[in-house]
Structure 1
Amino acid sequence: MTAVGEYGVVTVAGRALSRAQVEDFLYEEADILDAWRYDDWLALFVEGARYEIPTTDYGGWSLHESGSFVDDDYDLLRARVKRLKSRKAHAENPHSRTHRLISNVRAFAHEDKLRVTASFVVHRARDGQFDTYVGRYEHLLLPADDGLRFWLRRSILTHEALPPGARLSFIL
């Protein structure tokens, strides 16, 4: 793995990508999610991509060995977006108010993909309850003609356990 180089650039699949481009991609995604623009969010994925949230006891092993809160292939991801946009998502009707902070963004070349890690804090307000979700992202991104796209979007919570009443009914 090669990290962002001396001039803040990493080359993947013949494309030079700066840390600023990667950060802008993550910040734009955060804005899209906080605005509940789920069609725009789904457009950030390539067909065949995955969305994963391992359980809080995740130790870097397979999600299928340790369990997960979310383990969506692309078809399940599309279905999740469709449900969240409908009235059938009772836990998110009306939807939560969220605010995301992203920091410590790192980018590495990983075969023909860009491996991105970052820290996150997501604040969620709903039904008089305010929850804070803290963790790190481990993404695999593909460069596309019109920007970056998710091949894998993984949100790893650093909580020992979710607090009582906390839900993952929204996109982390």
Structure 2
Amino acid sequence: MIPTGLTSATIGHATPADAVRVRDSMVISAVSQFLFDEAALLDEWRLDEWLGLFHPDAVYLIPTPEDLSDDPATTLHLVHDSMNTLAGRVDRLKSKHAHAESPRSRTRRHITNVRVWQGPDGLETRSVFQVTRVRGGVVDRYAGVYEHLLVPTVDNDVPWLIKRRRVALDHSIESAGGQLSVLL
């Protein structure tokens, strides 16, 4: 049974027109735990495990805060990665030659206000985040909204794979120290 709820007309652009708000507390709790676990993998620098959460056809987007358009073909995006480019980014970050992350940053991700909709392609999620990054005695903070498209798997250990991850920053990178070497 698909829970009934709000339509995309009342929640904005983040969900497809035929998405239905999920009200089942067990589903919301499971999705929240998945997002918390994803954040922990990044904070603990377990990048290969984090990459394992992504669908082979995944896309990872960070549009500029000045233009949050979803179309990277017509607007500037800070990040527009396919699974191949995301895997390359992870490999570079783990390399000793990644000067921007050697020694690596310490990060703490805080995720809240998790909302879930059932869409035709899977679960659409929106959550509010704050990432605190400490490196060389300097503290940077990033804030915004995560949007995920989660598709079900047959693996009991990982209930979903991330097919789309979009990070909508609330501020410019320059106002947060000018560095985007960490995976938001």
Q: Residue 132 in 1 paired to residue 149 in 2?
A: no
Q: After the TM superposition, which residues 20-39 of structure 1 pair with which residues of structure 2 at under 5 Å, given as runs?
A: 20-39=29-48
Q: What corresponds to 1:153 in structure 2?
A: 165
Q: What corresponds to 2:25 in structure 1?
A: 8
One-letter amino acid of the structure 1 residue matched with residue 166 of structure 2: R
User: Normalising by the residue count of structure 2, what TM-score does the alignment of the two structures yield?
Assistant: 0.84
Q: What corresponds to 2:178 in structure 1?
A: 166
Distance 1:166 1:160 in 2: 8
Q: Is the 8 A contact 1:140 1:153 kept in 2?
A: yes
One-letter amino acid of the structure 1 residue matched with residue 118 of structure 2: A
Q: What corresponds to 1:69 in structure 2?
A: 78
One-letter amino acid of the structure 2 residue matched with residue 88 of structure 1: H
Q: What corresponds to 1:87 in structure 2?
A: 96
Deviation of the 1:160 alpha carbon: 4.8
Q: What corresponds to 1:55 in structure 2?
A: 64
Distance 2:31 2:176 in 1: 34
One-letter amino acid of the structure 2 residue matched with residue 150 of structure 1: I
Q: What corresponds to 2:106 in structure 1?
A: 97
- Percent of counterpart pairs with the same letter? 41
Q: Secondary structure at the match of 1:105?
A: strand
Q: Is the 8 A contact 2:142 2:176 kept in 1?
A: no
Deviation of the 1:165 alpha carbon: 3.1
Distance 2:51 2:87 in 1: 7
After TM superposition, the runs of 4+ consecutive aligned structure 1 residues lying more than 4 A away are: none
Deviation of the 1:164 alpha carbon: 6.4
Q: What corresponds to 1:141 in structure 2?
A: 150
Calculate the aligned-residue CA RMSD, in Å: 1.4
Describe the shift of the 1:61–1:81 C-alpha distance in structure 2 as closer, same or farther (beyond 3 A): closer
- Structure 1 spans left out of the alignment, 5+ residues: 10-17
Distance 2:59 2:116 in 1: 19
Distance 1:145 1:107 in 2: 20
Q: Secondary structure at the match of 1:79?
A: helix
State the structure with bigger RCO (CA 8 A, min sep 6), 1 or 2. Answer: 1
Distance 2:75 2:69 in 1: 9
Distance 1:145 1:164 in 2: 40
Deviation of the 1:126 alpha carbon: 0.6
Q: Is the 8 A contact 1:54 1:68 kept in 2?
A: yes
